[in-house]
Amino acid sequence: MAAAEEKLNEIVRRIIEVAQPLRIVLFGSAARGAATSRSDLDILM
């Protein structure tokens, strides 16, 4: 697993732990697989 994917999994785990959202949606360049080292994460809860 790539470092970026591990980091995303950790972020999602923490969101679930704290906010307990019904749904988490990743969109933008990360969702398309086009993220670069300068990309942000677009997350909808």
Provide the residue-wise pLDDT of the chain in tens; the chain has 45 residues: 588 889 999 999 999 999 999 999 999 999 999 999 899 999 999
pTM, 2 dp:
0.78
- In angstroms, what CA-CA distances link 41 with 3, 4, 13, 23, 26? 14, 11, 15, 16, 7
Parent domain of 16: 3-44
Cβ within 8 Å of residue 44, ≥6 positions away: 24, 25, 27
* pLDDT number for residue 4: 82
* pLDDT number for residue 1: 57
Amino acid identity at 27? F
* pLDDT number for residue 2: 82
What's the CA gap between 10 and 4, in Å, rounded?
10
Number of separate domains in the chain: 1
